[in-house]
């Protein structure tokens, strides 16, 4: 029996998808250009670039929840357009300061922080907006399209940022990123967002508790959140030690390391392109389980390189680490959108993004364990942690879902 044809997505959603591609590309180009500018233009060292990277990641922890509150109170399209305009302004200001020769590390960090605040708000509001633009049957294909745009930007943005800085200088790189952000705003302006009933005004802490309680008490969303938190810890533990391990143990050159890491992006693209058909052929819960299980297999393959030091095994590991979990992102986003009342989608999306807070935890764990016991111990520990996250999801009711749940409405009395 042949699978159903991939559903055709409405034009208004396609504008969102293109806007997402422009916004994600702007983010990746700017994130790649900032440390290059810091090193080549300002001559800063490793410790100072570490502070810059901290400034570029803090907004995900500080502003995800406020962005979710905002996305549940007002137009999500407006939140996305305003946040992208904020990012465009910060990138344009960086461009101007570089041209004037007035850029400093504190200013670069501050403007980068502001730009990433725009990224956070856009990333929180986008998944909450999608269900109002497509029907239930179109959700998996829509999320796959959104994730493909993010994947393409993730895979090509850093390289493009580096090339732009190398060929035409730092200022034009930020100018190009700002132009992409403006393009994202223009595309958003043509989207029709159905009106929502006004949300009752309550204390922000009450609304935050409501969103957190919904996730942590929901039989399907709680194990998804826990799995994602553990996955982020394990993946960044692995990433924290891979480069020195690859050079010392696998004998890879700088080019070899780059090619191996690039397999992660290749896996993401392959996974995103195949996601819709995979979700048509397999039970919905099976697709949810694929990501964590593939993550564990990827970590086991990487740990195997301590015995068989082959570069192709490391490349296979990164390919699997990209391909499987992208199916996880698409399927669990669809699940979250299906079982969450529309008035809670912004806060639930924000709480999901808070799981990214595990990333610095994984990096710190890599620094401590790697420093005490070596990179090999980190790879074994990463495989063990990946096994835990696979076990959490496999023991949950989420993997027993035969099909995508019906989309819920607002509870009675709301």
- Res. 47: pLDDT tops 70: no
Which of 131, 163, 192 corresponds to the end of one domain? Answer: 192
Q: What is the pLDDT of residues 158-191, one digit of tens each?
A: 667 666 766 766 778 888 899 999 999 999 988 8
Residues 36 and 133 in one domain: yes
Residues 331 and 304 in one domain: yes
**By residue range, what is the domain housing residue 147?**
10-192
Q: Do the Cβ atoms of 4 and 280 come closer than 8 Å?
A: yes
Q: What is the mean pLDDT of residues 53-58?
A: 72
Enumerate the H helices of 1-138 as residue ranges. Answer: 11-40, 46-62, 64-73, 76-100, 105-129
Task: Give CA–CA dist 211/214, Å, rounded.
Answer: 5
Q: Do the Cβ atoms of 280 and 286 come closer than 8 Å?
A: no
CATH number at 32 reads 1.20.1250.20
In a domain, 200, yes or no: no
Q: What is the mean pLDDT of residues 102-115?
A: 88
Instruction: Identify the pLDDT of residue 178.
Output: 93
DSSP symbols for 143-160: HHHHHHHHHHHHHHHHHH
In a domain, 114, yes or no: yes
Residues 176 and 241 in one domain: no
Phi, psi of 279 (to 5 degrees): -70, -20
Residues 245 and 174 in one domain: no
Residues 244 and 126 in one domain: no
Residues 140 and 281 in one domain: no
Residues 184 and 239 in one domain: no
Instruction: Identify the pLDDT of residue 48.
Output: 62
- Res. 92: pLDDT tops 90: yes
How far is residue 201 from each of residues 68, 206, 228, 343, 410, measured CA to CA in Å? 15, 10, 31, 12, 17
How far is residue 280 from each of residues 1, 202, 258, 274, 330, measured CA to CA in Å? 11, 41, 34, 10, 13
Instruction: Identify the pLDDT of residue 142.
Output: 87
pTM of this structure? 0.77
Residues 314 and 177 in one domain: no
Dihedral, 136, 137, 140, 145 alpha carbons, nearest 10:
-100
CA angle 37, 92, 40 (to 5 degrees): 5
In a domain, 175, yes or no: yes
How many distinct structural domains can be found in the chain? 2
Which of 192, 221, 241 corresponds to the end of one domain? Answer: 192
Residues 49 and 118 in one domain: yes
In a domain, 238, yes or no: yes
- Res. 121: pLDDT tops 80: yes
- Res. 2: pLDDT tops 70: no
Residues 287 and 371 in one domain: yes
Q: What is the pLDDT of residues 301-354, one digit of tens each?
A: 999 999 999 889 999 999 999 888 888 888 998 899 888 888 888 888 888 887
Band of the pLDDT at 413, cuts 50, 70, 90?
low
Task: Give CA–CA dist 305/314, Å, rounded.
Answer: 7
In a domain, 46, yes or no: yes
Residues 215 and 186 in one domain: no
Residues 21 and 100 in one domain: yes
In a domain, 381, yes or no: yes
Judged by DSSP in three states, 241 sits in helix
Dihedral, 234, 236, 239, 241 alpha carbons, nearest 10:
-80
In a domain, 202, yes or no: no
Look up tokens 């916004």; give the residue. Answer: 23
In a domain, 1, yes or no: no
- Mean pLDDT, the chain, rounded, equals 83
> Which CB contacts under 8 angstroms, 24+ apart, belong to 240-244?
240/362, 240/363, 240/365, 240/366, 240/367, 240/370, 240/378, 241/366, 241/370, 241/375, 241/378, 241/379, 242/302, 242/314, 242/375, 244/375
Task: Give CA–CA dist 190/192, Å, rounded.
Answer: 7
Q: Do the Cβ atoms of 36 and 170 come closer than 8 Å?
A: yes
Q: What is the mean pLDDT of residues 246-270?
A: 80
């Amino acid at each position: 029996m042949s699978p159903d044809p991939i559903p055709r997505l409405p034009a208004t959603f396609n504008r969102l998808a293109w806007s997402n591609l422009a916004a994600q590309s702007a983010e990746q180009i700017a994130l790649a250009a900032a440390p290059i500018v810091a090193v080549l233009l300002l001559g800063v060292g490793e410790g100072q670039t570490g502070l810059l990277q901290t400034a570029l990641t803090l907004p995900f922890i500080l502003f995800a929840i406020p962005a979710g509150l905002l996305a549940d109170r007002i137009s999500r399209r407006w939140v996305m357009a305003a946040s992208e305009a904020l990012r465009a302004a910060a990138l344009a200001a960086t461009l101007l300061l570089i041209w004037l020769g007035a850029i400093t590390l504190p200013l670069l960090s501050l403007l980068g922080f502001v730009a990433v605040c725009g990224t956070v708000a856009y990333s929180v509001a986008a998944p909450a907006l999608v269900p109002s633009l497509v029907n239930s049957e179109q959700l998996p294909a829509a999320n796959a399209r959104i994730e493909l745009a993010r994947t393409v930007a993730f895979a090509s943005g850093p390289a493009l940022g580096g090339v732009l800085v190398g060929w035409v200088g730092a200022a034009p790189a930020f100018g190009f990123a700002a132009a992409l952000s403006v393009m994202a705003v223009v595309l958003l302006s043509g989207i029709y967002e159905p009106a929502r009933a006004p949300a009752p005004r309550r204390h922000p802490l009450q609304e935050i508790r409501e969103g957190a309680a919904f996730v942590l008490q929901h039989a399907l969303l709680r194990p998804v959140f826990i799995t994602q938190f553990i996955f982020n810890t394990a993946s960044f533990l692995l990433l924290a030690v891979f480069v020195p391990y690859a050079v010392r143990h696998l004998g890879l050159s700088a080019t070899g390391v780059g090619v191996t890491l690039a397999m992660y992006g290749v896996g993401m693209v392959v996974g995103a392109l195949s996601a819709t058909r995979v979700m048509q052929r397999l039970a919905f819960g099976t697709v949810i389980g694929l990501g964590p299980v593939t993550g564990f297999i990827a970590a086991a393959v990487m740990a195997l390189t301590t015995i068989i030091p082959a570069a192709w095994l490391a490349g296979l590991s990164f390919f699997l680490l990209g391909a499987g979990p992208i199916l996880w992102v698409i399927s669990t986003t669809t699940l979250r959108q299906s079982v969450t009342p529309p008035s809670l989608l912004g806060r639930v999306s924000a709480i999901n993004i808070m799981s990214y807070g595990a990333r610095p935890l994984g990096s710190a764990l890599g620094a401590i364990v790697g420093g005490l016991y070596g990179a090999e111990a980190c790879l074994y520990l990463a495989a063990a942690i990946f096994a835990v996250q696979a076990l959490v999801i496999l023991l949950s009711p989420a993997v027993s879902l035969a099909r995508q749940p019906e989309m819920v409405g607002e509870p009675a009395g709301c």
